[in-house]
Amino acid sequence: MNQILPSFPDQPPRVAVVCSAWHRDIVDRARQALLSEFERSRLPAGQVDHFEVPGAFEIPLHAKKLAQSGRYDAIVACGLVVNGGIYRHEFVASAVIDGLMQVQLETGVPVLSAVLTPRDFHEHEDHQRFFGEHFVKKGAEVARACLQTIERMRAIDPAGALR
């Protein structure tokens, strides 16, 4: 995708990006890749708002409030859910993904996820490097999916397009 999608020439989409602060150094790699992909697609930087929440568990409620605001064509969630803490990572990951799906079905605003849950994550340098690189790939992928989803949603209901 070398330019903004054809259905957006006069109404560029507005996108909210919600990132968890937990493992910010890795999660931010997805956000930066997402922003780079949006830039390559000629989505103006002013059309993308960034929000940070403490952890992945907080993303769905924040996404819901943003979706209900009526300001956004889509919301992208970025986070890393790892072993440890009070909850098992499978529980948190399931709760987050289920919550994001519920938000988009209730509000009609697409919610895309780059919330990843590796089976085994350790703080050592190899995992930091591997997951940092993986988040770059996922950030670009979710940006492309976001723009394609917005284009398809507008094709289904042009009158329902925001702004």
Is position 40 annotated as part of the catalytic site? no
* Cα(145)–Cα(112) distance, integer angstroms: 8
Q: Among 42, 71, 88, 129, which one carries the catalytic annotation?
A: 88
The string of DSSP codes covering 16-43 is: EEEEESTTHHHHHHHHHHHHHHHHHTT-
Radius of gyration for the chain, computed over Cα atoms and rounded to the nearest angstrom: 16
Catalytically annotated residues = 88
